[in-house]
C-alpha cells in the first residue's frame, strides 16, 4: 500500500514539475542575468549537452556545489585508477563550483552543469549520457533523477549521505514519507557520514542492507592537491595572521554579517587585536558585506582586492573561491 502511495505522489510531483518547466526556464534566465548561471552553458541546466558522449561505459558523479564536488574528486581519481576504460561525467549546479573544480578534475573527465529535476531535462540528460551508474553526493535526493534512473535500470548510490534535521522533518511528513521511501528503495548503496544519518535513513525506510559506512569524504581532500603557488599563498596568509587571535564565520548567508559583527565587538573587548574572517556563502555578496563593515567604523580588507592583512585590519572578507578558501 505504501509503495502504491509513493508511486502516486511521484506522479503528482512529475506532473507538477512538468507544468512548472516554463517558470523554471524564466528563473534560470533571471539567474543568468544576475551572473548566477553560466552565460554560455546555461542550456545544460535543461539537459542539453555541450560535449559529445564517448563510446563505452560511463559513470555519472553529481554534487550540488563546491564542497561536495571537491569531496567527489578522490573517488573519481580512484575510479580512473581501477577502471581506466570508464568515462567519468561530473556535474554540479553552481558557477562557484564550476570555476574551481574544472581545473582540478583528472584529464578526460567530462564536466557539465546538472539538469533541473524536471521530466524533460532529466529524461534528455539520462537519455543522452546513458550512465551505467550514478553516484550522488550528500543530499541530492531528486525524484525525477532517482526514479527516472531506476526505471532505466541504472545503478544509483548516495555517497557521504547527509540528512539535516530540517530535511528529516520534511521527509517524515505523511505526504512526503511514501515518496522518499520509494526513492530510497531504489538505491543500491547509501554511505552515511554518521550513525545519526544511518538511523534517519532507516527511519525513512531505506533498506538496511544498502547502508554502509565509509566516513566523511571531505577528509579525503587533502593539502596534497595544492600547487606550489597555492602553498605559497597559504604560507603568506599564515604569516599575515601570525600572533593574532582569529575567529571565522564561514558560509554565512545575506544579513548574517550583522550578527558576526556583533560577536566581533564583544570579542575585541577581550582580545584587542582580534581579527574576524567572514566567508559569505555566495562570494558576490562580499562587497556589500564590506560596505556594512565600514559603516560600523571597522577596517576591512576584501580578499579579491589582493590587499594584505595589516595590524589595523579588523575584518577580512573572503569573497573568492579557490583552494585556500574552499
Annotated catalytic sites, by residue? 68
* Sign of the four-CA dihedral 292, 304, 92, 180: negative
Backbone angles phi, psi at 49, to 5 degrees: -70, 155
Give the length of the chain.
326
How far is 201 from 208, CA to CA, in rounded Å?
A: 9
Q: Tell me the HSE value of 213 on the side-chain side, using a 13 A CA sphere.
A: 8
Output the CA–CA distances (angstroms, integers) from residue 293 to 111, 245, 297, 313, in the order listed.
38, 19, 7, 11
Provide CB contacts within 8 A for 221, sequence distance 6+: 70, 71, 73, 74
Question: C-alpha grid cell for residue 71?
Answer: 569531496
Amino acid at each position: 500500500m505504501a509503495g502504491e502511495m509513493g508511486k502516486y505522489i511521484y506522479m503528482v510531483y512529475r506532473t507538477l514539475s512538468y507544468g512548472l518547466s516554463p517558470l523554471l526556464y524564466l528563473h534560470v534566465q533571471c539567474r543568468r542575468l544576475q551572473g548566477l548561471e553560466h552565460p554560455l552553458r546555461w542550456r545544460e541546466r535543461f539537459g542539453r549537452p555541450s560535449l559529445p558522449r564517448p563510446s563505452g561505459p560511463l559513470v555519472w558523479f553529481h554534487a550540488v556545489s563546491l564542497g561536495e564536488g571537491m569531496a567527489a574528486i578522490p573517488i573519481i581519481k580512484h575510479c580512473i585508477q581501477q577502471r581506466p576504460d570508464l568515462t567519468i561525467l561530473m556535474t554540479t549546479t553552481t558557477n562557484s563550483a564550476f570555476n574551481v573544480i574544472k581545473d582540478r578534475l583528472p584529464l578526460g573527465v567530462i564536466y557539465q552543469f546538472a539538469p533541473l529535476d524536471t521530466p524533460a531535462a532529466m529524461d534528455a540528460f539520462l537519455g543522452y549520457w546513458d550512465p551505467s551508474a550514478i553516484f550522488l553526493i550528500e543530499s541530492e535526493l531528486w525524484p525525477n533523477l532517482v526514479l527516472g534512473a531506476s526505471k532505466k535500470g541504472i545503478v544509483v548510490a548516495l555517497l557521504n549521505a547527509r540528512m539535516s534535521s530540517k530535511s528529516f522533518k520534511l521527509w517524515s511528513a505523511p505526504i512526503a514519507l511514501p515518496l522518499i521511501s520509494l526513492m530510497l528503495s531504489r538505491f543500491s548503496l547509501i554511505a552515511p557520514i554518521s550513525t545519526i544519518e544511518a538511523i534517519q535513513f532507516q527511519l525513512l525506510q531505506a533498506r538496511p542492507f544498502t547502508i554502509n559506512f565509509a566516513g566523511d569524504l571531505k577528509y579525503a581532500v587533502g593539502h596534497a592537491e595544492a600547487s606550489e603557488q597555492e602553498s605559497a599563498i597559504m604560507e603568506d596568509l599564515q604569516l599575515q595572521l601570525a600572533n593574532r587571535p582569529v575567529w571565522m564565520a564561514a558560509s554565512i548567508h545575506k544579513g548574517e554579517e550583522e550578527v558576526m559583527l556583533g560577536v566581533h565587538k564583544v570579542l575585541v573587548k577581550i582580545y584587542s587585536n582580534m581579527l574576524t574572517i567572514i566567508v559569505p556563502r555566495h562570494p558576490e555578496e562580499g562587497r556589500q558585506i564590506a560596505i556594512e563593515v565600514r559603516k560600523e567604523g571597522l577596517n576591512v580588507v576584501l580578499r579579491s582586492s589582493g590587499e594584505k592583512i595589516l595590524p589595523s585590519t579588523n575584518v577580512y572578507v573572503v569573497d573568492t573561491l579557490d583552494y585556500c578558501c574552499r
